[in-house]
Amino acid sequence: MTRKQIFWTKLKRILRTGFFNFWRDSTVTLASVLMMMVTLLVIGLISFSSAILDTTLTELKNKIDINVTFITSANEKDILDIKHTIESLPEVLLVTYVSRDEALALFKARHSGDQSILSALDELGENPLGAVLNIRARDPSQYASVAEFLESGDALSSGGLTIIDRINYFQNKAAIDKLARIIASADRLGFALAFFFAIISVLIAFNTIRLTIYLARDEISVMRLVGASTTYIRGPFVVVGIIYGVVAGLLTLFLLLPLTYWLGSTTESFFIGFNIFSYYLRHFLEIAFIVMVSGVFIGALSSALAIRKYLKI
């Protein structure tokens, strides 16, 4: 036989033995695949949790803004000049102008059920509300500098008199700061937890495979004594490990369908519009890749590491 033929014959035999072992040791196979599924399910859910966190954080960030309310006598042109100045700041993402009339309409719409407020408004006879500039920063931590700019800037006054009535940032500052801190620590905590669970579940899978190889230790010693080479003994075990990974991976991906479907509406109402089921369908290839690669990697590596001890004869 040529070297090439020897290689292919050996590979064929290793694969065949691996498949047979997987098929024949049904109890061991079932236990290993189930344990591996738990691991892959954890890994799959971790990839969801980071998406949930990301979406929720983005949604929360979008909800933070600064409202600058102008005095009622402020001139619309001055306000639009200010809008233009603020828009030129690098930290600012978007500035929306709400005119006095629009502000009144919004106010009325908001209190449409409250007759006493509406009648009080009518009695006033004139529009008591000032125009508003709604400012959105690129990042929650940048609101402070935007607010400082608004406080100090001469550009914000017309003829030496300030036309700004109030900036709600300073009332909201505490809440905004707290939210920014929560967002940052949730990010860190989420990562740490995910890492912790991933490690634990990988260890569980590793130990299960180690047990299956422990059960085969006598056979391994016989193989050694009939002069089988290390590759020839280890090969089929690694193949079995890979098959565990593939089968457990496919089952996990399948199981995630009903699981995420069932959790879908709950997550949607709890995590501000994040539907785990539609996320799963949209990112199926990505998640399938992570789960399958993890399965194959954990299976093959666990087998290869666990068998070392018994090959020393």
Q: Please report, as ranges, the residues that interact with other proteins according to CB under 8 A.
A: 1, 6, 9, 13, 20-21, 24-25, 218-219, 221-230, 232, 313
Q: Please check whether residue 249 is in contact with residue 40, taking contact to mean a CB–CB distance below 8 angstroms.
A: yes
SS3 category, 288: helix
Nearest residue (CB) to other proteins, 112 versus 229: 229
Cβ 307 to other proteins, closest distance in Å?
Answer: 15
- Residues 263-291: b if buried by 16+ CB within 10 A, e if exposed: bbeebeeebbebbbbebbeeeeeebbebb
Nearest residue (CB) to other proteins, 26 versus 116: 26
Nearest residue (CB) to other proteins, 4 versus 77: 4
SS3 category, 129: coil
Cβ 24 to other proteins, closest distance in Å?
Answer: 5
Cβ 216 to other proteins, closest distance in Å?
Answer: 9
Cβ 21 to other proteins, closest distance in Å?
Answer: 6
Nearest residue (CB) to other proteins, 83 versus 224: 224
Nearest residue (CB) to other proteins, 109 versus 225: 225
Cβ 35 to other proteins, closest distance in Å?
Answer: 20
Cβ 245 to other proteins, closest distance in Å?
Answer: 21
Q: Which residues pair with 69 in a beta bridge?
A: 132, 166
Using CA atoms, how far residue 275 sits from 51, 259, 269, 291, in Å, is 11, 12, 8, 20
Pairing status of strand 132-137 against strand 161-162: unpaired
Closest C-alpha among 29, 10, 13, 50 to residue 191: 50
Nearest residue (CB) to other proteins, 13 versus 84: 13
* Spatial strand order in the sheet of 66-70: 92-98, 132-137, 66-70, 164-167
What count of Cα atoms within 13 Å lies in the side-chain half-sphere of residue 22? 23
Q: Please check whether residue 244 is in contact with residue 32, taking contact to mean a CB–CB distance below 8 angstroms.
A: yes
